[in-house]
Structure 1
């Protein structure tokens, strides 16, 4: 086959040069597939043979691309309107069907829009054959249909990327941002990502990348590195969901593109009406459930009122229903199982926080005996930070402060868990993570069963409903919020002040030690109530006015700093230590006696004439709220050898491996 190449010389003249092109499939990156739904006989006789031939030129495509013949003007050319390869769109099993009047069905309408955009912006010498469907280079098959939607960059001018739209293996247009840096440094990874979506190449990989580079007729856009609120210079704010969907007011000027959107094929199911009927109505007269649903709507609101993290931890036994509260909240955004275990936060809090920016972060199961990583992650939340490995693209130094609403669960209050460490919980954490008891009714977190026989039946019914209906509430909420953002922000600010004042005044009278008695805690609790009331006004939650604010007030009355059930005073604490020592007498070594006991029984401590030395782990496993007990007997506890710790390091002369223990004065122990 012979092709003609036109060269523009420096003096403005044009030279035509003929080149031969091999039609053998000698260098296709991916094997050609023969799916009858994807490859359809072309209706144009002149393209029927060429369309099945891959591109392979004796001259590299990259050299051709440098010709001015490949340069594109900003507007359409005559060739753009001719489209000799355009044929009527044929239907397939994946793309829908036409109606009796010949109109394109809904699935085909999306394809028609996609194909029209490709026809309008394709570089010179490339055409789209809709029958195959395939992009052709001078009549030869080049790659599956795609287009460059926009050229995106960060506000500071870095991070350039291509916002692609490709036709995947199911004949569905999909957006796929591609970093220009990755085009150079990670081409194999990019090709793998395309293949994973069912996209096929019929050309050299170098030619494909050059093809993307010369696609000039696409607008500029802004790059966003994480979901949430995005505000370009001199433009109205918009909101990006984790899947890349953008919610923007009509006056927004420039497009914003999420750099790393998440793929969640199960993010939406059922209907909004089904969720309202089967889930939201069951929350009526269940304050904890109302609060959890309202908290899921509160994620986009902290930025509007100048808050950062607002976190709430439901604590209780395994059968209290606390995890179900998180699943219900997650269903507002997407799949009800979109809840992360607390263990994921120990190394991935940066990633989780980035994905939940201006949204909900649900963390289930803070351990009863947390290790150092769990404590560091929890402390990082108190500083609005991430923990674990930083993400180079989103937060290269791990210094970004994240803004999110957090719902968490644990068996005991977080303050009690942190109290097991060397330091008291910092005040910022206590303001940002408020402990709320989950076992507040006869059926744990639930008071009204709405016709269910018992708590277990109510829970199972709610879980089935969550699987049927999820992912509709937050998108609808955002559309209504963003449509008149300034007015809604002004209303929110006024409502927040009123509810904060009400919650704080009541707590100061009834429970001065509650976090709701201070403005930071009261404001965060009130924010959740205001979010629910806003969703009620938007017609999204089928609750009477005031339901969400009353639930926030009820949970504020239950909020607490102190762990429940400790009750240790000095006398009771000393008696408990004596009981423990007597019960484990055979497992406590007398260092003054000889010979020492032998056997396989694990030791719990040592003693001599003056002191009782008890190992921390066995003691903590048997004594409830140990840290409160130790605080009650601080006058007989004798630390030593450990900086900032109440423990004592045994000398090698007494115990060779020098364990850490709690050392008590025997004379004062009684």
Structure 2
């Protein structure tokens, strides 16, 4: 259709389609009533034949008609029209021209975030099925040809005239409604309300507005069905109770001012790890809500932002490249991405999120990194806590009448496929009510954490993650969202904390100390006979390439005398001062220098007197023995 098309050329249908009850695309629970059509210029008098289209004094203009239009005895379809005038010529005066652009499409409000950024338009339209949809459209999508805007509208059923595609964008851009609404560009907490792509809990003037893809939140079945077929099976199965509690814990991160947290379940295949992850994802969505580690570090950042405020479920850590895992371990839990430059070399806005990461795999996070030659830092291991799978039947202790652990896993997967997406929003609503009544979350968290009796700062940090899960599970049980008795979630978290603490392999040391001692011990095992020159004159001289130090053997034992360069190489990634502190704490120095210094001046077979570090390898074995 062209601008010169008259109303006589518009499609005429015999009868209007039956309209279903309207519903929103991203609205609160109640469906909106269709907006009235005040734009019809009818005086209301019985038998009126007034023209519903605007007269020439009001043109050019846009009008939206939600219902069928009766004009000159003909029925014209509902929609968004451009009412213009033809250009006056010598042969013909200017005349009205009315062009149908698309189906009924209202620009209801202007949107922007609290910092007066992320501007957008709240669109509301009736789709080809007769249902109402809504979308907070970011204005940045209009910067180019607008194809993304049209794709989103068409995907949700807006009818439009293909030749008028550009006019649809012109119409949206021209509208300046008086109503203003707040925009949220990510899920999670915003100004006291909790935002999900399809609903906002706790406010009616905030809309989810994102230019990128969103996580597939969704629902099916009922909360009662989920409780009986999924959550009830966690009774007597602490690993499952911990997983479901972890799925709820992301909601508590911002109220407790915690950047993020994460658990990683590991163990042999077919033990029930993925089943626990499936049960956890059913808190927020269906099978598509669960992701895999098969992505890049940039992809993981994008996924974390899409799951902000809730759960990022990642299956099979063995599928991620060790380098990407090494780069992402900090970022996922710290809650911010890389700083990147725009085309002008300026720093772009850094992506931020708060999410609880729940991961599975056959190996630990550190082991997967080591497969690529990367030594896991203590900080990384304290952000994604490795928890070994245990149970009498794989991950299960109670079979709830099933014949085997496999049968219980099948029942859980079937239940999670039928019922999902109800527990998460229900937990948010219960938390909003509890906070309004004065719930002190930090005090409750501290009380649970104190029961774990952490022995040092690193254990305290780990204990907080398990306490966070316990608090979420206990609050959900108190609100009747999970059918558990009081204390069930806390016991599951204590069980998980004990498993994590037992497998750390630190021998009572800090994770950094244990890692340094292992690194130095491994270096001696690999290079002890090739890169350390003997201090004994009785030994036959041999060429030592790339010397790391010397070795002295006596009846009292063997001592390796490291050069400073050799020691730095042995514990790459750690400052020399930090390496020396770890060795000193372990009592690994066989000899000290003057004034208690860790390096001692030592005469070597060639007559030189360098300062060397005298390390007893048997003192490095504590961490290794603890792992055994």
Q: Give the TM-score normalised by structure 2.
A: 0.68
Cα distance in 1 for partners of 2:122, 2:228 equals: 39
1:185 alignment counterpart: 144
Unaligned runs of 5+ in 2: 23-28, 42-53, 69-76, 84-97, 508-513, 530-541, 547-557, 573-617, 619-628
Query: Which one of the candidate residues 379, 384, 398 is aligned to 1:448?
Result: 398
Distance 1:238 1:446, change over 3 A: same
2:4 to 22, 31, 34: 22
SS in 2 for 1:474: helix
Deviations 1:280-316 (A, max 9, x none): 1111100010011011111110111121111111011
2:174 aligned with 1:214: yes
**Cα distance in 2 between the residues matched to 1:350 and 1:398:** 13
Give the match for residue 402 of structure 1.
353
Pairwise CA distance, 1:91: 2.0
Aligned-pair CA distance for 1:133: 3.6
Name the SS of the counterpart of 1:560 in structure 2. Answer: helix
Q: Pick from 395, 401, 414: which aligns with 1:464?
A: 414
TM-aligned CA distance change 1:333 to 1:611, over 3 Å: farther
Report if the CA contact (8 A) 1:239-1:248 is conserved.
yes
Q: Cα RMSD over matched residues?
A: 4.5
1:435/1:110 CA distance change after superposition, 3 Å: closer
CA distance in structure 2 between the aligned counterparts of 1:198 and 1:421, rounded to whole angstroms: 48
The aligned residue for residue 18 of structure 2 is 91
Aligned counterpart, 2:533: none
Q: Assess if the C-alpha contact under 8 Å between 1:349 and 1:386 holds in 2.
A: no
Kindly state the Cα deviation for residue 353 of structure 1 after the two structures are TM-superposed: 1.5
Matched position secondary structure for 1:221:
strand
CA distance 1:612–1:531, shift in 2 (3 Å): farther
What secondary structure does 2:259 align onto? coil
Equivalence for 1:495: 444
Change (3 A) 1:205 1:634: farther
- Assess, with a 3 A threshold, how the Cα gap between structure 1 residues 639 and 227 changes in structure 2: closer, same or farther: same
Counterpart of 1:312 in 2: which secondary structure?
strand
Q: In the alignment, is residue 130 of structure 1 matched against residue 67 of structure 2?
A: yes
SS of residue in 1 equivalent to 2:34? helix
**In structure 1, how many angstroms separate the alpha carbons of the residues matched to 2:342 and 2:280?**
27
User: Structure 1-normalised TM-score?
Assistant: 0.64
**Of 140-149 and 307-316, the range deviating more from structure 2:** 140-149
Question: Matches of residues 256-655 of structure 1 in structure 2 within 5 Å?
Answer: 256-260=207-211, 267-367=218-318, 370-381=321-332, 383-386=334-337, 397=348, 399-418=350-369, 424-438=375-389, 440-487=390-437, 490-503=439-452, 505=453, 507-508=454-455, 518-560=459-501, 562=503, 644=569
Q: Contact conserved, 1:415 with 1:425, CA < 8 A, in 2?
A: yes
Mark the CA change 1:374 to 1:264 in structure 2 (over 3 Å): closer, same or farther.
Answer: closer
Matched with 1:619 is none
Distance 1:501 1:369, change over 3 A: same
CA distance in 2, matches of 1:343, 1:459: 24
Distance 1:255 1:370, change over 3 A: closer
> Per the alignment, do residues 305 and 390 of structure 1 end up closer, same or farther by CA in structure 2, a change over 3 Å counting?
farther
Partner Cα separation in structure 2 for residue 569 and residue 158 of structure 1: 50
Equivalent pairs, count: 495
Q: Distance in 1 between matches of 2:257 and 2:570?
A: 37
Query: 1:381-427 CA distances to partner (integer Å, 9 max, x unpaired)?
Result: 354333698999xx964745532111111222223444567675334
How far 1:367 sits from its partner (Å)? 2.1
CA distance in 1, matches of 2:504, 2:66: 69
Residue matched to 1:629: none
Q: 1 CA distance for matches of 2:351 and 2:214? A: 24
The 1-side partners of 2:268 and 2:11 are apart by: 64
CA contact (8 A) 1:341 1:365 kept: yes
Report if the CA contact (8 A) 1:330-1:337 is conserved.
Answer: no
- Secondary structure of the residue that 2:382 maps to in structure 1? helix
CA contact (8 A) 2:322 2:368 kept: no
* 2:33 aligned counterpart, secondary structure: helix
| Equivalent position of 1:114 in the other structure | 34
Aligned position for 2:200:
246
Structure 1 pair 645–401 and aligned structure 2 pair: CA distance change class (3 A): farther
The DSSP-based 3-state class of the residue aligned with 2:501 is coil
